[in-house]
């Protein structure tokens, strides 16, 4: 009886033990971070074609192969630029986690041409290099500068509008806006309305031909049309200085520092002067109060001028009743 009870206990214990066992099977995939190698094609950018807009220019986010399961760190290695480019390397940047490449062209300077960018990418396998992985192609500014007349004839004393510049948007997409005009290296005789492109002659000019260049700024950058307009200035007024006899040409006057002097009135041709101003060299600026001009253009030097010893060339500026003046420097 005792044997039977012990056997029963053993059997019951064994059943309890085996009933507590449970077989657990787990399905899992071993984690592999994936790695990159130089120029392995696992990172792909889309090339960018862009006008040189005065803004930040960016690439799209690159695509990364599905085998890469860890974060990447993108860095710009080198930028190949056109030989004549005026770009600023420091204005290139890259978002390290995403790989988006940007160039800050807010102040301009990104000139036409192809910019090929090489990257280094930190990854689980180390650092991989991608040569010329993306190219930013900067297109020429699609602006053609026009002029309503390539050559104009004007009088020496003529003042007013003489020509008008305009632009044509060559993109065919209406992308050009914010157009402004300015003259390039022109004298203050000429000006251009920055909004309308109207070119004006603002002052009297000496006879001869002058070529004017126009720069057009826009949201896409600037374009220059060199020698866009030729201005042909007709015969200009002439002036002759005479000695006190009223007939002998005057070319030089010799004075002592305290000598008073009054010249003979100059002979002005093709212009009637309503008033006169004298043009002194900078070395006589401190003595300008000792010089004066009469109504007929005669030059007077006061007796107490105490002029410094030396040779000086002076000029005159007649002004007509319309307020138009013409300089005759160093007459």
Distance CA 114, CA 82 (A): 6
Q: The dihedral of CA 173, 179, 183, 185: what is its sign?
A: negative
Find out whether 313 and 299 touch, Cβ atoms under 8 Å. Answer: no
Q: Could you list the pLDDT tens digit for every one of the 331 residues in the chain?
A: 454 445 555 554 554 554 444 555 556 656 677 899 999 999 999 999 998 888 999 999 999 999 998 889 999 999 999 998 989 999 999 999 999 999 999 888 888 999 999 999 999 889 999 999 999 999 999 999 999 999 999 999 999 999 999 999 998 888 899 999 999 999 999 999 999 999 999 999 999 999 999 999 998 888 999 999 999 999 999 999 998 888 899 888 998 888 899 999 999 999 999 999 999 999 999 999 999 999 999 999 999 999 999 999 999 999 999 999 999 987 7
Q: What is the pLDDT of residue 30?
A: 63
Whether 262 is in a domain gets the answer yes
Please give the C-alpha separations between residue 124 and each of 33, 63, 67, in angstroms, as whole numbers.
Answer: 7, 17, 12
One domain, residues 290 and 263: yes
User: Domain for residue 12, yes or no?
Assistant: no
Considering the entire predicted model, what is its pTM? 0.67
Domain boundary among 138, 163, 186: 138
- CATH number of the domain that 294 lies in? 2.60.40
What is the per-residue pLDDT for 293?
94
Distance CA 128, CA 35 (A): 9
Number of domains making up the chain: 3
Q: Are residues 155 and 224 located together in one domain of the fold?
A: yes
Provide the domain limits for residue 259.
Answer: 238-319
Q: Contact, 224 vs 258, CB < 8 A? A: no
149 and 220 assigned to the same domain: yes
DSSP track, 168-236: EETTSS----S-EEEEES--TTEEE-TTT-EEEE-S---SEEEEEEEEEEETTEEEEEEEEEEEEE-PP
Residue 227 belongs to a domain: yes
The CATH number that applies at residue 199 is: 2.60.40.2710
Joined together, the tokens standing for residue 244 give: 């006190």
Report the pLDDT value the prediction gives residue 108, as an integer from 0 to 100.
83
Q: Which two tokens stand for residue 148?
A: 């309503």
Choose one of 213, 233, 253: the last residue of a domain. 233
Q: Which of 198, 233, 268 is the last residue of a domain?
A: 233
Beta strand 291-293 with 221-233: parallel, antiparallel or unpaired? Answer: unpaired
In a shared domain, residues 159 and 206: yes
Predicted local distance difference test score (pLDDT) of residue 208: 95
> Contact, 144 vs 170, CB < 8 A?
yes
**Cβ contact 117:127 at 8 Å:** no
CA gap 270, 255 in Å, rounded: 32
Q: Are residues 211 and 226 in the same domain?
A: yes
d(CA 222, CA 219): 8
Residue 275 phi/psi, 5-degree rounding, is: -155, 165
How, if at all, do strands 48-50 and 126-138 pair? parallel
Q: Judge whether 324 lies within some domain.
A: no
Please give the pLDDT value at position 34: 85
Q: Are strands 315-319 and 275-279 parallel, antiparallel or unpaired?
A: antiparallel
3 assigned to some structural domain: no
8's enclosing H/E stretch is helix 2-20
Between CA 36 and CA 65 the distance in angstroms is: 9
Half-sphere exposure of residue 205, counting CA atoms within 13 Å on the CB side? Answer: 23
């Amino acid at each position: 009886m005792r044997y039977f009870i012990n056997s029963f206990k053993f059997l019951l214990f064994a059943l309890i033990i085996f009933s507590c066992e449970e077989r657990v099977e787990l399905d899992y995939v071993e984690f592999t971070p994936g790695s990159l190698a130089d120029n392995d094609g696992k990172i792909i950018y889309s090339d960018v074609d862009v006008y040189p807009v005065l803004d930040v220019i960016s690439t799209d986010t690159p695509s990364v192969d599905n085998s890469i399961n860890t974060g990447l760190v993108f860095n710009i290695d080198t930028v190949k630029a056109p030989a004549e480019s005026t770009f600023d390397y420091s204005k290139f940047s890259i978002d390290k986690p995403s790989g988006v490449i940007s160039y800050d062209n807010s102040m301009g300077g990104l000139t036409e041409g192809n910019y090929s960018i090489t990257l280094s990418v930190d990854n689980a396998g180390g650092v991989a290099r991608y040569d010329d992985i993306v190219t930013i192609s900067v297109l020429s500014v699609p602006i053609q500068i026009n002029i309503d007349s390539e050559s104009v004839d004007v009088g020496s004393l003529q003042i007013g509008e003489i020509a008008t510049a305009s632009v044509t948007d060559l993109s065919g997409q209406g992308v050009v806006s914010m157009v402004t005009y300015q003259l390039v290296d022109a004298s203050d005789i000429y000006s251009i309305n920055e909004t309308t492109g109207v070119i004006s002659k603002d002052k009297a000019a000496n006879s001869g031909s002058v070529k004017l260049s126009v720069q057009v700024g826009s949201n896409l950058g600037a374009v220059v049309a060199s020698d866009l307009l030729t201005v042909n200035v007709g015969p200009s007024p002439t002036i002759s200085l005479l000695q006190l006899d009223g007939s002998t040409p005057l070319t030089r006057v010799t004075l002592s520092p305290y000598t008073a002097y009054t010249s003979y009135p100059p002979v002005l041709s093709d212009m009637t002067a309503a008033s006169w101003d004298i043009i002194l060299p900078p070395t006589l600026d401190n003595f300008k109060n000792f010089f004066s001009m009469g109504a007929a253009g005669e030059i007077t030097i006061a007796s107490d001028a105490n002029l410094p010893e030396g040779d000086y060339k002076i000029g005159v500026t007649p002004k007509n009743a319309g307020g138009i003046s013409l300089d005759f420097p160093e007459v």
